Amino acid sequence: MASLAAGIDSALYGACKTVAGNSGVVSITFCIDTLSSDNRSHDAAGFKDYAVVTVDLITANATSTKSKIDGILQNGGAGDGDAKRRCLQSCQAAYAGVLQAQPGIVADVQGGRRLPEAISALEKSASAVKECENGFGKSNKFLCQREA
């Protein structure tokens, strides 16, 4: 990790280490890569600013992904397979849950209060999405079928 930390801002590394260090869902590298991709991170004054950027990025991604899933389901793109449709509906619900949680998380982060709760909520959102997406993986091909 020392070589990774050498090329980035120490505040960014510290924030990502704090968040990812306790998470089984988000890695330090993913955190750094994601935040580094947004120009607002370069002007961040601390953990709160990084958290605001993170919440904005998650909201944008969840909105876009849910919209794509909505379109697939509405246009019959799930095909005739009930299992695929159930997986897509499960993912649709997961992303809707992420979006439903975001206003409270945003308020907590922007107000600089309850950051541990906000981090926990973000981890729960990421975990729900990861579980949903794993339903499409070869090793978990029956995950979405078991709800039949």
pLDDT tens digits, 84-137 = 888 888 889 989 988 998 888 888 877 776 777 777 777 788 788 888 877 766
Question: Which range, 52-61, 78-87, 124-133, is most confident?
Answer: 52-61
- How much is the pTM? 0.74
In the chain, the domains with their CATH numbers are: 2-147 (1.20.140.40)
Q: Report the share of the chain in percent with pLDDT over 70.
A: 80
pLDDT over 60 (residue 34): yes
Q: Give residue 23's pLDDT.
A: 66
Residue 19 near residue 121 (C-beta atoms within 8 A)? no
Query: Which helix (H) or strand (E) segment is 61 a member of?
Result: helix 47-74
pLDDT over 50 (residue 83): yes
**Alpha carbon distance 62, 59 (integer Å):** 5
Tokens for 117, please give them. 């709760």
**Alpha carbon distance 70, 74 (integer Å):** 6
Tell me the one-letter amino acid at 41.
Answer: S
Residue that the structure tokens 């309850």 belong to = 114
Residue 134 CA: distances (Å) to CA of 4, 8, 104, 138, 141: 28, 31, 27, 8, 8
